[in-house]
Structure 1
Amino acid sequence: MITDPHIAAKVHQLLRESSELINSAAMLVKEHCPEDEFESFRDGISKILAETLIEVLNPLYFLHPDLAPLGLRIPKNRIQPPPDAPKVIATRDLTYSLNADPDSALPMQVRVFSPRPARMRPEDTTPATDSVCTVEFHGLPYSRFDCLKIHGIDSIQSLSLALNIDRFLRNVERNHALTFRWAEDGSAYFDESAD
């Protein structure tokens, strides 16, 4: 990634400007095109914006934390996982907005990793019968929500429990003034009439 702070700042500004242009393009399509064309367009640009955040901006913020938006958690390291590390087996793309700024649509992705044997201590040598699944929440602004370790009596139970992300997201939405939406169409993730 870019190490020169002056170039990084210029790149960051250009990416912010391009994001504003993309948003303007989305508003133009929304105002002047049929709903199905707008939905297709919005799906495409939400993927671009999410990838830009995850693959470009987050690494840039890691090297240059002064460029990061206020309150955005910066990862402590970017160490690549070992080849035998659990793999992502399921994802869900969402957006969230801060209730103070309901028009914002910040991308986030939920990632569920394959179950692995749980070890209570590194010195344990007996095979573990219980299992753990990791669930990561990429894009949320609070570091304590980076990931969850979900334990079960075996791999099926830990995976089943890990896939139940709605309980966690509902709690975050209620307690941290956020609103989650589907990335595909911007509709509310939770049925607002059920509250």
Structure 2
Amino acid sequence: MNKEIATELDRLLREAFRSVEDATRLVQEQCPVEEFDFLRAEAGRVAGGLTFLLMPLWEDYPDLAPEGVVVKPPRKRKREK
């Protein structure tokens, strides 16, 4: 994946992550605790999945990673022909 695509994918996935956070806050503030507990658990799964998608991008392009996030060294890419 080239840097341009990685940058756009990073933006879109982080936007999705923020949307999940916003939805969780909304339910926490305005819904019964049982509904919040359910949503929080499921939102955690979604956020974890988004992070799972973001980590390879950040490994290949560490400059895209948020400050303070430690990523593995860049993966070796297959040579393009």
TM-score (norm 1): 0.36
Question: What residue in structure 2 maps to residue 66 of structure 1?
Answer: 63
Read off the aligned partner of 1:28 and give its amino acid letter.
L
Question: 4+ residue runs of structure 1 moved beyond 4 angstroms?
Answer: none
Structure number having the greater helix percentage: 2
User: How far is the alpha carbon of 1:38 from its aligned partner?
Assistant: 0.3
**What percent identity do the matched residue pairs reach?**
33
Give 1:71 shift: 2.5
Q: Give the 3-state SS of the residue equivalent to 2:73 in structure 1.
A: coil
The answer as to whether partners of 2:24 and 2:36 remain within 8 angstroms in 1 is yes
Higher Rg of the two aligned structures: 1
Which whole-Å deviations, capped at 9, do the CAs of 1:88-113 have from their partners, x for residues lacking one? xxxxxxxxxxxxxxxxxxxxxxxxxx
**Following the alignment from structure 2 to structure 1, what is the Cα–Cα distance between the partners of residues 75 and 56?**
8
RMSD: 1.7
Match of 1:52 in 2: 50
Look up the match of 1:21. 19
Q: Which residue of 2 aligns with 1:6?
A: 4
In 1, Cα distance between the equivalents of 2:75 and 2:17? Answer: 25
Q: 5+ residue gaps in structure 2?
A: 77-81
CA contact (8 A) 2:59 2:71 kept: yes
Residues in 1 aligned to 2:20 and 2:7: alpha-carbon distance in whole angstroms: 20
The equivalent residue for 1:41 is 39
